[in-house]
Amino acid sequence: MPELPEVETVKEVLKQQILNETIERVDIYYDKIIAYPTSTLFKGKVVGQKINAIKRRGKWLLFVLDEDILLSHLRMEGRYYIKEQKEIPSKHVHVVFTLSSGRELWYADTRKFGRMVLQNKEEVEKRAPLNALGLEPWDEALTPLYLKEKLKKKTIPIKTVLLDQSIVVGCGNIYANEVLFLGKVHPLRKANTLTKKELENLIQNIRLVLAKAIKLGGTTIRSYESSEGVHGRFQNALSIHEQEICPSCKEKVIKIFVGGRGTYYCPNCQKK
């Protein structure tokens, strides 16, 4: 699944390609991709609007148009491609935006889980999905005190908390494994037992891991690739996820499932 670093990579690639393009036509081949409003209203609203900026909030891409903001979540396997009009979309391409340059922006999604939402600029921060999101990893408000308050009643595993987008956004499964390994925190540790120092380290490691992943273009595992087929390289720098031997102590890495998610940890470095 594309996480924050992958979405950030897609955002940067698209910014280089389609900024200031005007949407001249939209073809929708799978209506459920459009979560709000109806596909008919969606087409009627976006046609004629210019793409003035492309931003990211959590795992959502934000296409800032003249009047509205188009939010796009890639979910498991969503991808964007920039193509010439003469090319014929495959069966996995579900939305095609025809741009003023004559090129097309394709949204492809093998599993059809991705979603698009169109909202007025004045309302977007007040409504779902953005109003339910937690802090960005580099937000100055993300402090040990903030986390302490959020976690004080949570006896669930810290690994589960790291995946909770209402607390801190963008730390998906792979990155959560890496963050906990760097902090020497067992993934099943009760969230409300972490000390102020451990929470401080947690924040630093979240920022460190995500920044490194962004620099390397995200993680290409199984099916993820960014626009234009750009593959991430962070999988080559993983310390614990899908590893067999701990790089620090050479202990055998253990895999368990926490909340249904594959979780790798070192029993020696990450004592419970």
Rg (alpha carbons) of the chain, rounded to whole number? 20
Name the CATH superfamily for 4-130: MutM-like, N-terminal (3.20.190.10)
The pLDDT confidence band at residue 218, using thresholds 50, 70 and 90, is low
The structure's pTM equals: 0.90
Per-residue pLDDT at 235: 53
Given a cut of 50, whether residue 233 has pLDDT beyond it is no
Over the stretch 42-91, which tens digit does the pLDDT of each residue have?
999 999 999 999 999 999 999 999 999 999 999 988 999 999 888 888 89
Q: Which residue is catalytic, options 56, 57, 59, 159?
A: 59
Which has more confidence, 83 or 229?
A: 83
Identify each DSSP E strand in 121-260 by its residue range: 254-258
Using CA atoms, how far apart are residues 257 and 235, in angstroms rounded to an integer?
A: 20
Query: Where does the pLDDT of residue 1 fall: very low under 50, low under 70, confident under 90, or very high at 90 and above?
Result: low
Closest to 93 (Cα-Cα) out of 153, 173, 28, 140: 28
Between 105-109, 147-151, 215-219, 256-260, the lowest mean confidence (pLDDT) is in 215-219
What is the sign, positive or negative, of the torsion defined by CA atoms of 3, 1, 234, 148? positive
Is there a contact between 217 and 9 (Cβ–Cβ < 8 Å)? yes
Please give the pLDDT value at position 236.
Answer: 55
Q: How far apart are CA 218 and CA 110, in angstroms?
A: 20
Q: State the Cα torsion 141-147-148-154 to the nearest 10°.
A: 150
Give the integer Cα–Cα distance in Å for 152 and 199: 12
CATH topology of domain 144-265: Helicase, Ruva Protein; domain 3 (1.10.8)
Tell me what the mean pLDDT of segment 30-37 comes to: 98
* pLDDT above 90 for 208: yes
Residue 89 annotated as catalytic: no
Cis peptide, bond prior to residue 187, ω within 30 of zero: no
Angstrom distance (rounded) from CA 241 to CA 209 = 12
Check residue 226 and give its pLDDT. 43
Where residue 199 falls among pLDDT bands split at 50, 70, 90? Answer: very high
Residue (of 178, 183, 233) closest to 210 by Cα position: 178
Active-site pick, 148, 228, 261, 267:
261
CB 253 within 8 A of CB 181: no
Catalytic residue among 3, 104, 178, 225: 3
pLDDT at 220 over 50: no
Say whether 111 is catalytic.
Answer: no
Is residue 15 part of the annotated active site? The answer reads no
pLDDT, residue 77, reads 87
> Is 2 a catalytic site residue?
yes
* 8 A C-beta contact, residue 217 and residue 232: yes
Where are the domains positioned within the chain? 4-130, 144-265
4-130 and 144-265 agree in CATH topology: no
How would residue 13 be classed by pLDDT, with cut points 50, 70 and 90? confident
pLDDT for 207:
97
Q: Give per-residue pLDDT as tens, 93-149.
A: 999 999 999 999 999 999 999 999 999 999 999 999 999 999 999 999 999 999 999
Please tell me which residue, 217 or 104, carries the higher pLDDT value.
104
Residues 6+ apart with CB under 8 A from 226: 6, 9, 10, 13, 79, 217, 218, 232
